[in-house]
Structure 1
Amino acid sequence: MKEKERIEYLPLGSIVILRGGVQKIVINARGLVTATTTPAGYFDYGGSLYPQGIIGDQILYFNHKDIAKIVFTGYTDDDDKMMVDNINEWYENSEFERIDTEEWNRQRRQERGEHK
């Protein structure tokens, strides 16, 4: 089994811009397992558009490596640091693999008949 990378997760409420994007994203969740892939997999973050926020059930899945710029870093304290350690520990011991967002997006476009 290959060693899994530990992530220095950004705090909830952090605002980022993703690679290739211009829209600000606010981080609402960390360490998301999703069954939207086969097999089920793992994303580092869930977020929503800023300043719009969560609209309906729309959530943007992305990984730490997808972040191009940190616009604002959210609040952090000892509880947050403990949560980051817990997420990393869980991930290191889970059977789930981090989903490659580029591959995931490519597959979704193919399923919808889109080309890029």
Structure 2
Amino acid sequence: MLPIGTIVYLNEGTSKLMILNRGPILAGETEGERIWYDYSGCFYPQGLDPNNVFYFNEENIDEVVFEGFKDEEEHRFKKIFNDLKEENKPNIKKGTVTGPLK
């Protein structure tokens, strides 16, 4: 799991993205369905534009250009987050990315 602020290129991507969020949950296609992704990101260096937020997973990352800040809180967050992911596996399915996704 990469920290917030990390700059990446996605597979077949031509623009850098900065990780904004980890584990975003979106509404699915059916009522009550929830889908999570590993990350959300925005274009770098432009920053957040609500019309250009991208959702992607670890396997979609081609290259890490810069790794964001980490401290002891980051390590604690990773443990708590991984525990929550395991607890909620039956309730929230992981999204897949097959092309550009906003």
Please state how far the C-alpha of 1:58 moved relative to its aligned partner: 3.3
The percent of aligned pairs where both chains have the same amino acid is 31
- Once the two structures are superposed, residues 44-78 of structure 1 have per-residue CA deviations (whole angstroms, 9 ceiling, x without a partner) of 00110000111135311000110000000000011
Matched, 1:29 2:28: no
Please state how far the C-alpha of 1:93 moved relative to its aligned partner: 0.8
Matched, 1:50 2:44: yes
Matches of 1:64 and 1:73 in 2, distance apart? 14
Matches of 1:68 and 1:103 in 2, distance apart? 14
Aligned-residue Cα RMSD (Å) equals: 2.0
Tell me the equivalent position of 1:84.
Answer: 78
Tell me the equivalent position of 1:16.
Answer: 8
Compared CA separation, residues 16 and 40, structure 1 to 2 (3 A) = same
Please state how far the C-alpha of 1:84 moved relative to its aligned partner: 1.3
Q: Runs of 5+ in structure 2 lacking a partner?
A: none
Tell me the equivalent position of 1:99.
Answer: 95
Matched, 1:69 2:60: no
Compared CA separation, residues 97 and 56, structure 1 to 2 (3 A) = closer
Larger Rg: 1
Runs of 4 or more off by more than 6 Å in structure 1?
A: none
Q: Is the CA contact 2:43–2:52 (under 8 Å) kept in the aligned structure 1?
A: no
Higher helix share: 1
Matches of 2:5 and 2:99 in 1, distance apart? 27
Q: Runs of 5+ in structure 1 lacking a partner?
A: 1-8, 109-116
Matches of 1:103 and 1:46 in 2, distance apart? 14
One-letter amino acid of the counterpart of residue 60, structure 1: F
